[in-house]
Structure 1
Amino acid sequence: MTNKIVAIQGNHPSTLNPITDTSIFLANEIQDKYKIFYYEPKNLSIINGKVIAKGYFISFNYNSKKFFKIIKKQNLNLENCKFILIRQDPPFNLEYISTTYILDHLKKKVKIINDPTSIRNISEKLYSAKYKKFMPNTLFSQDLIEIKKIFSKNNKIIIKPIHSYSGNDILLLKKFDQKKIKKFIKIHDHIMIQSFLPKIEKGDKRVFIINGKVVGAISRIPKKGSYLSNMSKGAMPVNTKLTNKEMVISKIIAKDLKKENIFFSGIDFIDQKLNGDINVTSPTGLKTLFDLSNINLAKTFWKELKA
């Protein structure tokens, strides 16, 4: 019989911000019914054919200054879990890929969110190429000639690493700077090049999708002088509603992601245009939505998952 254990594969709890972190929010919602086991990706192994994680049982408490308490350290056979949540931050590097291959061994025995094969197959930015008609002018390339062409049609360009996260390493360029772009490509290989949407100053919209359903959204307004809407970069979250256009696009993507076996995801809009980030590795924002609106999508998450 499967034990009542939920395992979370994530960054060390000491690095998390309880005010905004979705992993803590999800764990807090379920910890009165399930034991929470926490481990870091580097501590995942296959030993004698079994998937073993070196970690600890843990509890979370929003009312305590130290918001987590390690109860018991243990090497756990993850077959004994009811659910496993893959929640570490990108970058989507070889360690991330290796953990998906390891967890693939458990898929027929334990429910894993999101499905390890699916998150390996869906590049958060490259997957959006199939939705180009909903996006600003976008190019994925290392080709300087092609990159220069997009500059000739736009006054300002955003360039992004394909496998980064949380607004890291994003550049706004007002002209074609070959030296700077070559250096960027040398570090990141293929990059995402996109026409700049000036209405970002009024905020983007993060849409939450659970089990193929569009379940909520928040807006994030960049701090003055910034073009980054990530809360980790100082953006301010506010309540929002989706326009009819945004809802139609969101439902199309939600339906596709359900077919891809993605249970929990987040997508972003700027000025009613999909900005090209299909967040499937460790979507966040549920705690912020709760604080803004008292809508608890952690309840929705676990209800849909257990159903």
Structure 2
Amino acid sequence: MTNKIIAVQGNHPSKLNPKSDTSVFLANEIQSKYKIFYYDPKNLSIINSKVAAEGFFIKFDYNNKKFFKILKKQKLNLELCKFILIRQDPPFNLEYISTTYILDQIKHKVKIINDPTSIRNVSEKLYSAKYQKFMPATIFSQNLDEIKSFFKKNKKVIVKPIHSYSGNDILLMNSYNSKTINKFIKKHDHIMCQKFLPKISKGDKRVFIINGKVVGAISRVPKKGSFLSNMSKGAVPINIKLTKSELKISKLISKDLKKENIFFAGIDFIDQKLNGDINVTSPTGLKSFYDLSGINLAKLFWKELKA
């Protein structure tokens, strides 16, 4: 059984939507060759100097209404795995960070995607600060004077938490409101403020990066009346091509991410501008891309990983 197991650290399958979920899509692609062991991050431990997880072996089936079957519950020494996929949703909080430190103990013995040290080093929004020349006007701050000044220059502003996900807690503000901003900072500490791009109504583009290569993209169009392009918030995916400018920027970032030891990532554009989300914790969209294009990036994912 050694090395014929792939572990997935993620949210319980009952919370996933098989029609769009990338973790299910990746596991489904490889389960004929490897056993899939699934565990929740809270069930990850170091016991007697061994990294172990309480979880279960699982089989996925897109043809059944109940798309997964738990085969056997077990505590597993994760050193027995060939690969471990870190796939739980953010927020990137202390629990998330703790799991990366635990998995650091075995990353020299088991290939972990994405590398736990790299996940800590590549803060999904703050990492984009090095690419600000490709972005709309953006600041990262909790200084009220700086934020007020930013609003004065840019009028309509998107306000985001730095460590959240899936469009949660994002505000669109037409003017500076000290009470709202104070409350937001109290909850989230440093925040990201970005000039609003009205062409978000036409969708944002999610670019997929695997092993330092730009391998595909989709657009996600917000539902009517919304400025959120996350599919979990009702956005609809459509097939698109990248412009020359978007491709050039994507290739530059993909090379940098490879140097950072990030194997799988997603980056986003609005109106040909990078929106500052460098998704490395649990990138999504591969199933939607397959449904739209017929191109199975899960096959490429495993091919590149095994190479």
**Counterpart code for 2:305:** L
**What one-letter code is carried by the residue in structure 2 that aligns with 1:243?**
T
CA deviations over 1:176-196 (Å, ceiling 9, x no partner): 101100000000000000000
Give me the whole-angstrom Cα distance separating, in 1, the residues matched to 2:175 and 2:88. 36
1:1-307 counterparts in 2 under 5 A?
2-307=2-307
1:88-141 alpha-carbon deviations (Å, 9 max, x no partner)? 000000110000000001111000000000001111000000000000000000
Deviations 1:199-226 (A, max 9, x none): 0000000000000000000000001110
CA distance in 2 between counterparts of 1:71 and 1:119 reads 31
Structure 2 residue matching 1:153: 3-state secondary structure: helix
CA distance in 1, matches of 2:249, 2:133: 10
Cα RMSD for the two superposed structures: 0.7
Per-residue deviation, residues 212-268 of structure 1 (Å, max 9, x unmatched): 000000000001110000000000100000000000000000000000000000000
Residues 142-172 of structure 1: CA deviation (Å, up to 9, x unaligned): 0010001111111200000000000000000
TM-score of the pair, normalised by structure 2: 0.99
Quote how far apart the aligned CAs of 1:52 are: 0.4
Q: Secondary structure at the match of 1:248?
A: helix
For 2:268 and 2:19, locate their aligned partners in 1 and report how far apart those are by CA, in whole Å.
21
For structure 2, the residue ranges without an aligned partner over 5 or more in a row are: none
Query: Which amino acid in 2 is paired with 1:217?
Result: A
Taking the aligned partners of 2:214 and 2:47, their CA distance within structure 1 comes to 40
Secondary structure in 1 matching 2:214? strand
Alignment-mate amino acid for residue 67 of structure 1: F
Aligned length: 307
Q: Distance in 1 between matches of 2:114 and 2:2?
A: 20
- Letter of the 1:259 partner, please give it: K
- Partners in 2 of 1:180 and 1:23 — Cα distance? 36
Gapped regions of structure 1 (runs ≥ 5): none
Q: TM-score, normalised by structure 1?
A: 0.99
Q: Find the aligned partners of 1:3 and 1:292 in 2 and give their Cα distance.
A: 34
- Measure, in 2, the Cα distance between the counterparts of 1:194 and 1:3: 45
CA drift of 1:3 comes to 2.4
Q: Distance in 1 between matches of 2:20 and 2:247?
A: 25
Shift of 1:2: 3.7
Secondary structure, aligned partner of 1:152: helix
CA distance in 2, matches of 1:74, 1:183: 44
* Structure 2 letter corresponding to 1:7: A
The DSSP-based 3-state class of the residue aligned with 2:123 is coil
CA distance in 1, matches of 2:273, 2:118: 25
Between the aligned partners of 1:128 and 1:3, the Cα distance in structure 2 is 36
